[in-house]
Structure 1
């Protein structure tokens, strides 16, 4: 018998998350069945449902995993930077790398946000977006207070643009299938963003 059959519940649930993310990288998340998930894990459907009462519970677990991992990573790198604009850059590059390593994540996130009704997974996705935006606003506010960016900076627009740049890189990677390229382009994209938000600030724009 396979040793994998005796994995603890938490490990098995994380394995299911990884299976869903891997499957979503190659197909529409809405088309992923519990049969496909169980097959990816080399389990029967019955064994899968011993860890998840419903398919929606699987999607909720996936969204909670994505939310926790992504926020943990961006918080860690942003907290290590004394300069708020450097913190934004660290967040940006880390987020892009997170997606490049898991192409299924943006497909799953957008799929959940577009679902009708208030599912548990959709609520987790919405909370993730709110929490991420809160972090951006907090850092941008600190940047204005310190003079690191222009005093006239529109923080809301700057936060929207930050997320839009990531989404743009993701869409291009999905079209080309080249996720390594988005990591290579991310520093150049952020350099343009940095120049825009720091123009007119008392501090000096970062030179490359």
Structure 2
């Protein structure tokens, strides 16, 4: 449902139940409210992204490679999960409780903090830092990700976030000099 053009409209439990082929009562046996359904989806998004980011940080030591892998992870996750991308961009949450959008905002703040930390560790790991403030660089990298995800949703999933990534990444990386 979130992957179709219906995903940009108000989502009701009746529509949701019909789209997955169960009764509304069956949905409410598992979730006390529609908000809790969204909470569970957001929790899945958080767990998926943060767990994988931590694996990247554990396995990769080169700063630029870490940043590239994190960006690819975010864009790839969005591409593989278009319905969840509607949640990440806030489109699916427009008619829902503000608290849900707050959770998405917190997730992006956590990711930005991780990017900032990767950028700051460059000096320690590689002996030389960046000439531009790490906070500015981290927000620029995350803005690139958010923009590509928004473009994906806005185009009704026509323009995939990873399209032309090998041509786009050098443009992002050039800002890191």
> TM-score band (shorter)?
0.7 to 0.9
Q: How far apart in 2 are the matches of 1:144 and 1:187? A: 26
Give the deviation of 1:73 after TM superposition: 2.1
The residue aligned with 2:132 is 153
TM-score (norm 1): 0.73
- Structure 1 residues 1-208: aligned runs within 5 Å: 23-26=1-4, 27-29=6-8, 31-111=10-90, 118-119=98-99, 121-147=100-126, 150-176=129-155, 177-180=157-160, 182-197=161-176, 199=177
- The alignment of Structure 1 onto Structure 2 pairs a total of residues equal to 174
Give the deviation of 1:113 after TM superposition: 7.1
Unaligned residue ranges in structure 1 (runs of 5+): 1-22, 200-208
Contact 1:144 1:150 in 2 (8 A): yes
Contact 1:93 1:183 in 2 (8 A): yes
Give the deviation of 1:106 after TM superposition: 2.9
Give the deviation of 1:59 after TM superposition: 1.2
Which structure would you say has the larger Rg? 1
Q: How far apart in 1 are the matches of 2:28 and 2:158? A: 35
Q: How far apart in 1 are the matches of 2:26 and 2:158? A: 35
Unaligned residue ranges in structure 2 (runs of 5+): none
> Relative to 1, partners in 2 of residues 1:47 and 1:66: Cα closer, same or farther, differing over 3 Å?
same
Give the deviation of 1:57 after TM superposition: 1.0
Contact 2:72 2:162 in 1 (8 A): yes
Q: How far apart in 2 are the matches of 1:172 and 1:129? A: 17
- Report the RMSD for the aligned CA atoms in angstroms: 2.4
Q: Kindly indicate whether structure 1 or structure 2 has the higher relative contact order, using CA contacts under 8 Å at least 6 residues apart.
A: 2
Deviations 1:27-75 (A, max 9, x none): 3455111112212222110111011111111111111111111212222
TM-score (norm 2): 0.84
